[in-house]
Amino acid sequence: MYVSALAFVVFYLGISKLHDAQGETISNGKDAKQSSTFGYYVANHALNIGYSHLGAITNPGNPCWWEVDLRGYFTISNITLTAVTDTANYLEKAFVEVMDKYVSLCSDVQVVWCGEVPNTVAAREKFTFTCNVTFPVRFVRVTRRSASSVRLKIGHVDVQGEGTMKPYRSYYKPSKNKKVSNPLLTTSAITAGDCGIVCHQHHSCIDFSYSATAPTDENYLLTDKALSSHHVNDNSWTTYTMYCM
């Protein structure tokens, strides 16, 4: 039977066994944000090696932070921060944490502290941290605190690890009249609930679209890309976005 849009759609699979990390870069092309942005030094600069001499810079704040959403669940082997070519002191005493959920939305976030940059930083200096994490990670955050208002400036962030299954319940928020633009997978499903189960089983899946009236082999669209859905003039389509995971 057809599943109508609810405030949240919840699906569950058990915790999967973690794998040994293989050291593959998993942060390239992902979504970054920061506590504020100075000029055009946006958060995503820190994920593009071509911008590493400029970096991502926040406005003064306390604390100030930078975060990447890995858009999937991973075991983490190490995280490397690279200072920019100038004003490298804007990275001093910044610390790195990893989380399983979005800290601003979820009340039961697991957090592990991975390490801290020393109080003296040279231009282009690299700092590599290993994280003793027993849960799959989705978010990596770099935070800088001080007795006064400070900036955070990061040249480049490289996160290495490998994918694993989602370990918890997945909550999806529905948006009517929206459809995934560039699906990773196009197939058939009987209900929106069936779509959610498949999305949960793919560690890289973040959103999916479902239609009860589209051709049966094209009524379920799964994506691993951020901001990949668009509005359509067809109220049979609903896009479900991962909310608190």
Per the DSSP assignment, residues forming a β-bridge with 111 are 99
Q: Is the pTM of this model over 0.85?
A: no
* Per-residue pLDDT tens digits for 47-86: 999 999 889 999 999 999 999 998 888 999 999 999 998 8
Query: Domain span at residue 55?
Result: 24-163
Judge whether 57 lies within some domain.
yes
Residues 116 and 178 in one domain: no
Strand 95-99, strand 137-144: pairing: antiparallel
pLDDT (0 to 100) of residue 14: 31
Residues 54 and 135 in one domain: yes
Of the candidate ranges 146-155, 185-194, 198-207, the one whose mean pLDDT is the lowest: 198-207
pLDDT (0 to 100) of residue 169: 59
Residues 87 and 134 in one domain: yes
Residues 92 and 139 in one domain: yes
Residues 229 and 176 in one domain: yes
How far is C-alpha 122 from the geometric centre of its chain's CA atoms?
Answer: 29
Strand 170-176, strand 178-180: pairing: unpaired
Judge whether 3 lies within some domain.
no
Provide the Cα torsion 49, 54, 56, 59; round to 10°: 180
Work out the end-to-end distance of the chain between its first and last CA atoms, rounded to an integer number of angstroms. Answer: 27
d(CA 229, CA 177): 10
Q: What is the CATH number of the domain that holds 38?
A: 2.60.120.260
DSSP-derived secondary structure letter, 18: P
Number of domains in the chain: 2
Alpha-helix residue ranges (DSSP H) falling in the chain = 192-201
DSSP-derived secondary structure letter, 226: T
Among candidate residues 131, 147, 163, the one where a domain is terminated: 163
Residues 110 and 154 in one domain: yes
Residue with tokens 């770099």: 142
How far is C-alpha 234 from the geometric centre of its chain's CA atoms?
Answer: 29
Sign for the CA dihedral angle at 131, 202, 157, 101 comes to: negative
Phi, psi for 243 (deg, rounded to 5): -105, -60
d(CA 5, CA 135): 31
156 and 52 Cβ atoms separated by less than 8 Å = yes
d(CA 62, CA 43): 17
* Per-residue pLDDT tens digits for 97-121: 998 877 665 667 889 999 999 999 9
Whether the bond into 63 is cis, omega within 30 of 0? yes
pLDDT (0 to 100) of residue 80: 97
Q: Per-residue pLDDT averaged across 128-133, rounded?
A: 92
- Per-position b or e across 53-75, b if 16+ CB within 10 A of its CB: ebbbbbeebeebbbbbbbbbbbb
